[in-house]
Structure 1
Amino acid sequence: MLNFDKKYWIILIVTFIFCMFFKPVLCFLILGTFALGYACYSLVFLNKINKNGIEIDGRILSYESDSEGYKTPVIEFQIAAGIIITGKPFLHTSTDLDKFRTYSGNINKTIKIIYSPDNPQRFILKNSFNGFGMVLFIIVGLVFLGISIGNLLGYNAIFN
């Protein structure tokens, strides 16, 4: 979802590996910053699309499973210009129950979506639990940042 150039990912991974050997608490700082940044980016997107997005009906074509078994719907919808868009929601939160459900009864079912008028490929499911996933990212980010900043300030609760 966050579109970084490949060189930025390489720099981030090399920095992370270096920090693992130099000062491991910096890895928590990197992870916390990344999780909190991703959550803030996603919340801004959700706020923007809920305010300015266009709500229409879409049709579920299928479900795609990722490598861990979580299912994401593939949805088709037609925008006002008459163009048919097919894709997966820009933000989608899954639970462990999604691994076991088949969702075959939902194929060809109509569902409400909200898409961005600037980029119709960026859409979300209306009334989904995306906010819960973002709250989880914020909590994880704050915990990692708290551990790392506390350690850098001299509170050695976890790292020595």
Structure 2
Amino acid sequence: MNATIDEIILFAGGAFLAVWGFAKITERRKLLKNGVRVEGTVMENDYSGNGSSYYPVIRYVTLEKDWVTKKYDIGSSPPAFKEGETVRVIYSPDNNQQFIIDNWHSKLLAPVFIAIGIALIIGVVVYYILYQ
């Protein structure tokens, strides 16, 4: 592959990671400010997503007494939670299907992705300046 194409791909990947991280931080801040906090239970760890990560399926009861069972959109390998484990959930009062698990993982994930994205962008720019 051409070095310029590699640089563009790495730059785009870094931009994607940084934007995704900022979106997750914004979502978390909004839910921390306006969300409803409840206890949830890990029903299972779903491995069917992309085949490389386990996605916890969380069940919780809303204040309106609605049961919500939904796969969390952030996975890990190995699984971050054991089946039957209780977790803190913060869900949106506007859409009880939108939620985050309130733990250290959800606090650190977005900043780590932002840092990796920015590091990729800076690395590509420095490489381009030095070697082109």
1:76: Cα distance to partner?
A: 1.4
Alignment correspondent of 2:59: 76
Alignment correspondent of 1:27: 9
User: What amino acid is the match of 1:132?
Assistant: L
Q: TM-score, normalised by structure 2?
A: 0.81
Alignment correspondent of 2:101: 125
Are positions 1:148 and 2:131 aligned together? Answer: no
Are positions 1:41 and 2:23 aligned together? Answer: yes
Q: TM-score, normalised by structure 1?
A: 0.68
Distance 1:111 1:138 in 2: 25
> What is the number of equivalent residue pairs in this alignment?
129
Q: Deviations along 1:69-97, whole A, 9 cap, x unmatched?
A: x322211122122321110234x353x44
Alignment correspondent of 1:10: none
1:150: Cα distance to partner?
A: 2.6
Unaligned runs of 5+ in 2: none
Are positions 1:59 and 2:41 aligned together? Answer: yes
Are positions 1:111 and 2:94 aligned together? Answer: no
Unaligned runs of 5+ in 1: 1-19
**Is the contact between residue 21 and residue 110 of structure 2 (CA under 8 Å) also seen in structure 1?**
yes
**Is the contact between residue 113 and residue 124 of structure 1 (CA under 8 Å) also seen in structure 2?**
yes
1:22: Cα distance to partner?
A: 7.8
Find the structure with the greater CA-based Rg: 1
> What percentage of aligned pairs have identical amino acids?
22
RMSD, aligned α-carbons:
2.4
